[in-house]
Structures are given as structure tokens and as C-alpha cells.
Amino acid sequence: MTIETIRTTAEPIASAAPWVADLVAELPGRAFTLNDPAYDELRQVWNRAYEHSPAVVVRPASAEDVAVAVGHAARAGAPIVVQATGHGIVGIAERDAMLVITSAMDDVVVDAETWTARIGAGAKWDKVLGPAVAAGLAPLLGSTPDVSAVGYTLGGGMGWLARKYGLSADHVRSIEVVTADGLIRTTTPDDDADLFWALRGGGAGSLGVVTAIEIDLVPVTSMYAGNLLYPASMARDVGVRYREWLDQVPEELTSSVSFMNFPPFEEVPEPIRGRSFAIVRGAFLGSDADGERLLDHWRSWRTPVLDMWGPMPFADVATISNDPLDPMPGMSSTEWLDAITDEIIDTLATALFEQDGPSPLVFAEIRHAGGAIAREPEYPNAYGNRQRQHVLQVVGVAAGPELVLLEEFVRQLQVDLAPHIAGVAYLNFLEGAEKVRRTSEGFDRDAFDRLRLIKAEFDPHNVFSHGLALV
């Protein structure tokens, strides 16, 4: 994996092109150019390492607004960039582009009878979590409720329930999408079935603007979940012990091992602030007694610095990872691993804990996949690499010149890991130019060929050119 982050900031054009002026006239209060006060706020990206500078930002209130906007941009041949939050940015919108910000389309309707939710494109998972929990149900969100349900699901969507229930993309019943021809389509296993297949795993920013999805919710109200923190000096032993644990655990457990340097920031609680740990975290969907028995593997071993595993209501799922909510500059990269070998553990421990460089603000997490992820869902989709067992994510926080150092650090880590990795990617953990360059690695070969044909059919002029690279 190579970091080739695209963060250039182009100056927006001073006067609007005719298609922009027409669009602004047709969508008053929902389309903004450089001179509008709303423009600067709307073009922000959660990952502050990036900045959009489009010709126009559209904040549609409905699928019909999206259709109008797409029609104008597509007729003008302008690139269309879609963003909910900017947690997983791919291409930045430059002066010729239209940026669609979905945040106003955030309606969520939970149906407790059918165990489903209809979710608007701009809704973050936190807006789904409350009503789902109130109905005794759970959505298949990931480690943070702060990303959009749609953006997360289009890239796969792997959370703490994944080994038991599969990916979020495996539990989609329908997707409403505006395609490059300006049509609003409701795709299902029976209608526009090819597009429905492609969007689930291959749809992020590349096939149209999704305006809403209908998903399954699952009957989970509580878990046995949490974190065990061991000192960084024990990282190698923890890695090996974790590998041994995975040989015995059921699908009801989804877990990870992380090597983490906590920043010396005030918001970080005192016992962990500025310190480094090897962390075993996860969620078990079974009785508390069985959860305790699973944790015996650790508790009968060595005493951790902190043991926070215990019964947890599903409503608190975000506390497992405690991901940051405030926007920040940084980067994320990833690799699928076939096994957690001694060499991989050693390479990560050395890089994260034992050498100079920007490592204090870097963490590496290996998540356990397999289980239901490895099985084809009821309605197959484009998502690839189902059989892979472990996904590594490397995340760093840095700005300015330190971001360049961080990228060099991660690039070196990639070089060191190269002999031991599968050479394929989980697309939700990639961003920027690396995501473009490695798009094909996210798919099985036949699926990628099919995806490209579907892309050619529904977006022949590649107006959605700033998402996955399908051309």
C-alpha cells in the first residue's frame, strides 16, 4: 500500500459557469457558490487533511433535488462528488466539480414489526441507533456511530456484530439512487438488480448518488464487551495469545487486537493519556456467563493494566472503540492478512512502540473477520475478499509537515509487512489516492469485471469520477 494522498486546494472560480447559475436558480437555498456564506462550512471534510473547492455545493433536501442537480452537472460534463461526512474521502472536488452534501437527507424510520430501517443518505449511525435500540433491535454499525450509514454500507461495513451477522452491505433490502441520467431508481433484488448488486460493496461515490437505503436490523439488545489493556512492553505476547484465542472463539465473538499510542491530549482519560498499550477489544453475543468463560483465556493469564470487559447494553456500542468524534487531519490504510504471524506481530510492535518517528499518534488494529462475513448473503453483492480472516488497519493523526512524516512512516511499515500480507484491501479503511489506486483489490476478479460493466452502463461518461476507480 502506498500513500499518495490528494489534498491540493484549488481556488474556486470567481464567477459561476452557466450550468452552475442555472442550478442555483433551480434549487434556491440548496445550492451554494463561493460567494454564499454557507459554501465554506458545507465544503468541510471530517478528515481535515483534505479540502474541497467545488464550483458549487448542493445540499439537497430530497431525491428530486438530487435528480435536478445531477441532471445539470451531467449535461455540463462536470464531475459529481458525493459526501455525507468526509470520514472516507476519496477524490476532492475541484473548481470544475459539483459537490453533493447529503447531510439534509437524514430521515430515519425504524419498523419494529419488520425489523428494518429506512435511512436517508445523510443520516449518521447515531441517528439510527436510538430508535433501533428503543425497538429492541440493533443496526450493523461499525466502531463509530459518527459515519453515515449509507457511506459505510456502500463500502461493506464491518462492525462488532459482523462475525455473527455479516456485513452491513449483506443486510440491505433496497437502495434508492440517482444515476448519471438523472433518474431516481429504487434498486432491489428484482428491480435494477445489477445496480443493486454493484452498489453493495462497490457503490461508494462511483455509481450514482444514493438517496436512501432500507436495511435489516438484528435482535441484539446487550453484549459482553469491552477492552483489556496490557502494557506496550507485552505487545508480542499479547499478539501471540490473541492468535491462540481465535482458534477457540465462536462466531458470536467479534474482536480485535490493537497496538495503540494514546495522544497526550487532555480529553484522553488520565490512566491512558500519553501511554502505549496492546489492547484486546470486542463484543460477544451470548450470556454473561459464557462471556466470562471466554475472557478466562486472558484473566487466567496475566494481569492487565485495565480490564473493562463486562455486560454492556448495545446502546453503548460506541464505547468499545471510543473513536474520536471531532474532525481531525490524518490518514488510514489497510491490508488483509491470512494469518497473524509472529513476523507481523513483531513488525507492528517494533514500528508502533520501539522506534522514533511520528508513531505516538498512530495505531494499528487487527480485526477478526470470518464467520458470517465469509458466507454469501441471501442476495449476493459486489463485496470481495470474504474468505480473508484478519483485516489490519493503520490510522494516524497528523497535520502539515507531520502528515508527510506519518505517510513515510506508514509507507515504511507497508514495505516491512509486504512479505507477510495478502496484498488486498478492505476499501472502507482506505481513502484518497490510495483508495483509487487499489480499488480492484477490494473485489474478487469476476466481480470487479462485472462491476466495471455496470459502471459503463449506468455512468458511461464517468461523471461520478471521484469515488472508486471503476473505469
Environment class of residue 84 by beta-carbon count within 10 Å: exposed (0-12), middle (13-18) or buried (19+)?
A: buried
**Main-chain phi, psi angles of 114, to 5 degrees:** -95, 0
Task: Report in angstroms how near the CB of residue 148 gets to ligand FAD at its nearest.
Answer: 3
Q: Given the complex with ligand FAD, which of 83 and 347 has the nearer CB atom?
A: 83
Q: To 10 degrees, the CA torsion angle through 182, 141, 144, 232?
A: -130
DSSP assignments along 391-406, one per residue: EEEEEEE--THHHHHH
CB of 83 to ligand FAD, least distance (A): 4
Q: Residue 181, Cβ neighbours under 10 Å: how many?
A: 15
Closest CB to ligand FAD among 205 and 358?
Answer: 205
Q: Which is nearer to ligand FAD, 187 or 347 (CB)?
A: 187
> Which of 151, 384 has the CB closer to ligand FAD?
151
Helices 288-299 and 235-246, packing angle to 10 deg: 140
Query: Do residues 286 and 252 make contact, with C-beta atoms less than 8 angstroms apart?
Result: yes
Name which of 156 and 396 has its Cβ closer to ligand FAD: 156
Which CB sits closer to ligand FAD, 143 or 347?
A: 143
Smallest gap from residue 60 Cβ to ligand FAD (A): 10
Per the structure block, which three cell numbers stand in for 428? Answer: 472502507
Q: CB 289 → ligand FAD: shortest distance, Å?
A: 28
**How many alpha carbons fall within 13 Å on the CB side of residue 281?**
25
* Encoded amino acid at 411, one letter: R
CB of 125 to ligand FAD, least distance (A): 9
Neighbours of 460 (CB within 10 A): 11
Residue type, 273: R
45 touches 51 (CB < 8 A): yes
* CB 23 to ligand FAD: min, Å: 18
Question: 151, 84 in Cβ contact below 8 A?
Answer: yes
Q: Which residue number, 347 or 432, has a Cβ lying nearer to ligand FAD?
A: 432
Minimum gap (Å) between residue 259 Cβ and ligand FAD: 17
Shorter beta-carbon distance to ligand FAD: residue 335 or 347 = 335
Q: Which residue's Cβ has the minimum distance to ligand FAD?
A: 151
271 burial (CB, 10 Å; 0-12 / 13-18 / 19+) is exposed
Which CB atom, from 142 or from 370, has the smaller least distance to ligand FAD?
Answer: 142
Q: Minimum CB separation from ligand FAD for residue 86, in Å?
A: 5
Task: Tell me whether residue 203 or residue 329 sits nearer to ligand FAD (CB atom).
Answer: 203
Q: How far is the CB of 455 from ligand FAD (least distance, A)?
A: 13
Instruction: Select 158 or 424, whichever has its Cβ closest to ligand FAD.
Output: 158
Q: Are 185 and 241 in contact (CB under 8 A)?
A: no
- Shortest spacing between CB 452 and ligand FAD, in angstroms: 17
In whole angstroms, what separates CA 381 from the centre of its chain? Answer: 17
Side chain identity, residue 18:
P
- Nearer CB in complex with ligand FAD: 155/329: 155
* 3-state class (DSSP) for residue 277: strand
Residue 173 Cβ, how far from ligand FAD at the closest point, in Å? 17
Residue 211: HSE in the Cβ half-sphere, 13 Å Cα cutoff: 21
| C-alpha cell of residue 324 | 474520536
Nearest distance from C-beta of residue 126 to ligand FAD, angstroms: 11
Which residues sit at the interface with ligand FAD, rule CB under 6 A?
82-90, 102, 121, 142-144, 147-148, 150-152, 154-159, 203-205, 209-210, 323, 428, 467
Burial of 378 (0-12, 13-18, 19+ CB in 10 A): exposed
Q: What is the spatial distance between Cα 463 and Cα 77, in angstroms, rounded to a whole number?
A: 7
Paired strand residues for 204: none
The three-state secondary structure class of 22 is helix
